[in-house]
């Protein structure tokens, strides 16, 4: 589900995706699975209006803490467990008709494909956001997604798939923050295996 959410906001073309040049966005994600909630924290980094983008997701499982690093680069989505030094890469061109959503420029094709409907405006972190409702199909299962968007940037989202809920909220936005160059470089010593997107 996390990969599906990542791909929804990924970009194929070198086009402006966000209305601000660079920022660091901290987020909290609550995943409800089997009657239990798991809370994750993540940090999104982007520059050049979203043409450079990566994220770090901090997870805890069976008493162990680890970091999942994701980078969108050269038409691929790279994702790596930094502790295990193992990762995957997905060729975005192989994703068929799974188009991405650029909220700065929603095309008629994308609007129709996802049945996107504007649901008014609400504030998130003091920012005036447009709320969109859309329908996405993942592994044959349709799910309804609500997204609160400010300047093309999702500050809040909520979805339910196969009875499980995923709610994500931005907790802090650092506009114009300096970002270390290594945030946009593949980590050294990690082996990436190409996989086929399961969408």
Q: Does 7 map to a domain?
A: yes
Q: Does 199 map to a domain?
A: no
Q: Does 119 map to a domain?
A: yes
Q: What is the mean pLDDT of the chain?
A: 86
**What mean pLDDT do residues 43-51 have?**
94
Q: What is the CATH number of the domain that holds 117?
A: 2.50.20.10
On whether the CB atoms of residues 56 and 68 are closer than 8 A, the answer is: yes
Q: Does 31 map to a domain?
A: yes
Q: Does 130 map to a domain?
A: yes
Q: What's the per-residue H, E or C state across the chain? A: CHHHHHHHCCCCCCCCCCCCCCEEEEEEEEEEECCEEEEEEEEEEEEHHHCEEEEEEEEEECCEEEEEEEEEECCEEEEEECCCCEEEEEEHHHHCCCCCCCCCCCCHHHHHHCCCEEEEEEEECCEEEEEEEEEEEECCEEEEEEEEEECCEEEEEEEEECCEEEEEEEEEEEECCCCCHHHHCCCCCCEEEECCCCC
pLDDT per position as a tens digit, 133-180: 998 877 677 888 999 999 999 999 998 877 788 999 999 999 999 999
* Total tally of structural domains belonging to the chain: 1
On whether the CB atoms of residues 156 and 168 are closer than 8 A, the answer is: yes
Structural domain including 138 reads 2-194
Task: Write down the pTM of the prediction.
Answer: 0.84
On whether the CB atoms of residues 171 and 27 are closer than 8 A, the answer is: yes
The overall longest dimension of the chain from CA atoms, in Å, is: 47
Q: Does 77 map to a domain?
A: yes
pLDDT per position as a tens digit, 167-194: 999 999 999 999 999 999 999 999 999 9
Residue percentage of the chain with pLDDT more than 90:
56
């Amino acid at each position: 589900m996390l990969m599906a959410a990542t791909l929804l906001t990924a970009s194929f073309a070198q086009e402006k995706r966000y209305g601000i040049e660079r920022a660091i966005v901290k987020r909290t994600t609550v995943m409800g699975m089997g009657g239990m909630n798991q809370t994750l924290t993540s940090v999104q980094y982007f520059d050049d209006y979203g043409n450079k983008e990566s994220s770090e997701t901090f997870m805890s499982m069976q008493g162990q803490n680890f970091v999942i690093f994701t980078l969108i680069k050269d038409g691929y989505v790279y994702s790596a467990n930094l502790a295990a030094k193992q990762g995957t890469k997905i060729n975005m061109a192989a994703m068929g008709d799974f188009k991405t959503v650029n909220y700065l420029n929603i095309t008629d094709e994308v609007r129709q494909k996802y049945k996107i409907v504007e649901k008014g405006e609400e504030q998130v972190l003091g920012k005036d956001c447009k709320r969109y409702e859309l329908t996405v199909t993942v592994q044959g299962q349709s799910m309804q997604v609500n997204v609160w968007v400010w300047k093309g940037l999702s500050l809040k989202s909520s979805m339910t798939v196969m009875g499980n809920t995923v709610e994500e909220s931005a907790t802090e936005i650092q506009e114009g923050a300096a970002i270390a160059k290594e945030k946009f470089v593949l980590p050294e010593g990690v082996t990436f295996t190409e996989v086929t997107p399961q969408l």
